[in-house]
Structure 1
Amino acid sequence: MTGSLPDAEWRHRPRLPDLLEALGEGNARFVGGAVRDTLLGHPVADVDIATVHQPNEVLRRLQATSIKAVPTGIDHGTVTAILEGWPVEITTLRQDVSTDGRHATVAYTSDWQKDAARRDFTINALFADPASGEITDYFGGLEDLRAGVVRFIGDARARIAEDHLRILRYFRFFARFGKGEPDSEAYEACVANANSLMALSRERIADELLKLLALDDPTTTIRLMVEGGILLPVLPEIDGNGVSRLASLIAREKQAHFAPAALRRLCALLPPDPTVGDDVAARLKLSNKARKRIAATLSLPPPYERPEQLAYWIGMDSAIDILLLDERMSSAALVELKHSSVPPFPLTGGALIAQGLPPGPDVSRALKNVEAAWVAAGFPEGEELEALTSQIVWKFQRLRQ
């Protein structure tokens, strides 16, 4: 790692040179995650540019170059350029005027260091000149990146007071980039200010928590959070037992080659109680789909003999969640389920009527019986399905006599 930005695929994306030319030499620098991740050799998803130009001037310059510009956050100084389908966020240099822990009032500036000073961590405050690749590092971010240290810029408690979400962001970035023990000042500041998370919207908390849980292995970081009481004010249901379940789950995910799933890992952290799961999901204002998955994963599953049968009744995602959380289930069965598909039920009530069952309430009841028998038999087709259906229709006909 050096003080110069290495070449990378994203630096050659279509129309990026046109965008930089429109902003003018010396007026724009790459900043944040694209710089940090390129220095580490990681893939880059989002590209951010900082500029001395104010938003309306950015819009004018892009339009003059026939680059689509969207005023996505123009009130906060951000314009999004669309370069052949991929977005680049361009934000005017800013400095904080006032903050209340959730929102900041900012003023535009032409001072690069003042803009860097309002960012959260040293590793996120690195600028790179687009032409030369030269890195501008005001706060020791390069050395911290090298050492695996996640450190607040300036006084940690003051930075958290500006935006309480930085507590959760700190642990997410530590899980991604940290090595060894956390920075003592940062950790102590997060512990001391954990109650301030209660002032945040639950959507912001959920977003950060799920991003953290989606990382490769956040177990150590989650344990630090539980030990420090970080989550206690907003998610008191998560304790040391949950951390142990999470560690076991992640080991099984890796053994069976399953990708991380944030909702599954959240279920591991919670007691195996669907009521608790639904309370937490509602508190975090998760989507209805996410709430149903959590409830299904934490509920007692319906009877089944084979994993595919469980997947049919509660859905593939929830079945995989339950089986991965069940340490009695073999990895081989999990892998088999991963590569299998569950067919849809092939019959309707019309098929039973065609076999002689009179229309009426019995059709619906008989169809449910056929479906249950079909699943129990392993999803038969053709003559076997026809025989199974005929047998149940016959039983219902007998009951009517």
Structure 2
Amino acid sequence: MTASMADQPWLRAASTRAVMAALAAAGGTDCARFVGGCVRNSLMGQPVDDIDIATRLRPEQTIQALKAAGLKAVPTGVEHGTVTGVSGRRPYEITTLRRDVETDGRRAVVAFTEDWAEDAARRDFRLNALYADAQGTVFDPTGGGLADAAAGRVVFVGEAETRIREDYLRILRFFRFYAWYGRGAPDATGLAACARLKDGMARLSAERVSKELLKLLAAPDPRPALRAMTDSGVLVQILPEAEPPALFEAMCALSPDPALRLSALLPEDEAAVRAAARRLRLSNALRDRLAVMVADGPPVAPGAAPAAARAALYRLGRAGFEDRLARAEAKGGGDGAPLRALAETWTPPRMPVGGRDLARLGVAPGPETGRLLKAFEADWIAADFPSDGHEARLRALIRPHG
């Protein structure tokens, strides 16, 4: 099976040609090939974001070649063979061909090689082990990558269990790539290997797991992949608190936001959500966002009256309001479009009074000031944020406690 991607704009770009010409000048026309996602996505009609290049040149030779051509070279991972070339303000990750010397399920000790087949043999899936030269001619060392890309199959390079034992993160990558590129049922051999070796994921760092999970959840439709993860017992290994899939399935149809989709997998319990976020080492911002979605607070429902919706919007802020609205919609609460429009157009007013206003009315600074302001704010919100009558409202609150 043969293929070419010579018509790809990123490949024809002057910045790309400059990098490939620099490498060819140092090592010959067959010393560098595009590899991985840029080749795979070009063949599958998907957008290309990152451009990775594999080369027979050693890292120091790559750096010299780039500098000789007047291009910037950044030693981003020289010990692993990786140099980032910058051309036309675009980064190109250039990595020396490698073979695994030793693996422990989390990381590999590698040695450099000049053999394209050896480099391909250490990669995870056949559709990620596709290479292309500067003219766009595609090479398929495993013999199955082109067919997999055409059919939407995610198949491990070589023996699935061997690839997984090299790095247990490949279990999650199997489901992530299936979510993004798979069509039909997942590869049965790969799926069975993931199920058998799922306990090995306990060796992985939480950061690697959560990063892979969020990438998976960002796929256009991750539902088939999550079903396969659930049935194989993989999901419970990384998310033991995962809820039944109904809310998740509905959320996927409603929103492409991976945070909302993750929330739909978690219980409606703030303490449990925060515990899961800590275990997965999620960012503080994402942890707090997930917690707000299920925390105690004003309810948000698509059918809420405008005044109640404005009160919730004031208390929660726009982001928290819209997240809770999405969860309510996914639960079958109706159409939230009117309330989303309200969130877009209504600006919550600022609290119209403060401690100075109370001082002018004879309230000495202290705990009573905080209590009265909190009571005023509650009444003001309940009255739907009136723009006047503030002093009278304060006096009414002061009098019973004066």
TM over 0.5: yes
3-state SS of 1:181 partner: coil
Deviation string, structure 1 residues 191-239 (Cα, Å, up to 9, x no partner)? 0001001010011110011111111221111011111101223321115
Q: Does 1:294 align with 2:290?
A: yes
| Map of 1:137 onto structure 2 | 140
| Map of 1:309 onto structure 2 | 311
How far 1:6 moved relative to its partner?
Answer: 4.2
How far 1:315 moved relative to its partner?
Answer: 3.0
Deviation string, structure 1 residues 349-379 (Cα, Å, up to 9, x no partner)? 256258635451343333333433443444x
Shift in CA distance, 375/227, structure 1 to aligned 2, threshold 3 Å: same
Contact 2:11 2:136 in 1 (8 A): no
Q: Does 1:368 align with 2:368?
A: no
| Map of 1:282 onto structure 2 | 278
3-state SS of 2:94 partner: strand
1: CA distance between counterparts of 2:319 and 2:218?
15
3-state SS of 2:236 partner: coil
- Scaled by the length of structure 2, what TM-score is found? 0.90
How far 1:293 moved relative to its partner?
Answer: 1.3
Q: What amino acid is the match of 1:44?
A: V
Deviation string, structure 1 residues 164-204 (Cα, Å, up to 9, x no partner)? 00000000000111111111110000000010010100111
2: CA distance between counterparts of 1:235 and 1:160?
20
Deviation string, structure 1 residues 306-357 (Cα, Å, up to 9, x no partner)? 4343233223333222222222142333542463354352545256258635
CA RMSD of aligned residues (A): 2.2
1: CA distance between counterparts of 2:131 and 2:273?
42
1:2-401 matches, within 5 Å, as: 3-24=3-24, 25-130=29-134, 132-139=135-142, 140-239=144-243, 241=244, 243-251=245-253, 253=254, 258=255, 260-303=256-299, 305=304, 306-326=308-328, 327-337=332-342, 339-343=344-348, 345-347=350-352, 349=354, 352-353=357-358, 356=361, 358-361=363-366, 362-378=368-384, 380=385, 384-387=386-389, 389-399=390-400, 401=402
1: CA distance between counterparts of 2:170 and 2:313?
39
Q: What amino acid is the match of 2:41?
A: D
2: CA distance between counterparts of 1:58 and 1:366?
69
1: CA distance between counterparts of 2:356 and 2:388?
10
Shift in CA distance, 371/2, structure 1 to aligned 2, threshold 3 Å: farther
Contact 2:359 2:365 in 1 (8 A): no
Shift in CA distance, 34/272, structure 1 to aligned 2, threshold 3 Å: same
2: CA distance between counterparts of 1:74 and 1:143?
33
Shift in CA distance, 202/341, structure 1 to aligned 2, threshold 3 Å: farther
2: CA distance between counterparts of 1:129 and 1:186?
29
Q: What amino acid is the match of 1:349?
A: G
Number of residue pairs matched by the alignment: 387
How far 1:62 moved relative to its partner?
Answer: 1.3
3-state SS of 1:390 partner: helix
Deviation string, structure 1 residues 35-88 (Cα, Å, up to 9, x no partner)? 111112211111101111111111111122221211111111111112233211
Structure 2 spans left out of the alignment, 5+ residues = none
- Scaled by the length of structure 1, what TM-score is found? 0.90
Q: What amino acid is the match of 2:16?
A: L
2: CA distance between counterparts of 1:27 and 1:281?
45
2: CA distance between counterparts of 1:357 and 1:386?
21
1: CA distance between counterparts of 2:336 and 2:400?
45
3-state SS of 1:328 partner: coil
Contact 2:4 2:136 in 1 (8 A): yes
Of stretches 316-325 and 137-146 in structure 1, the one that deviates more from structure 2 is 316-325
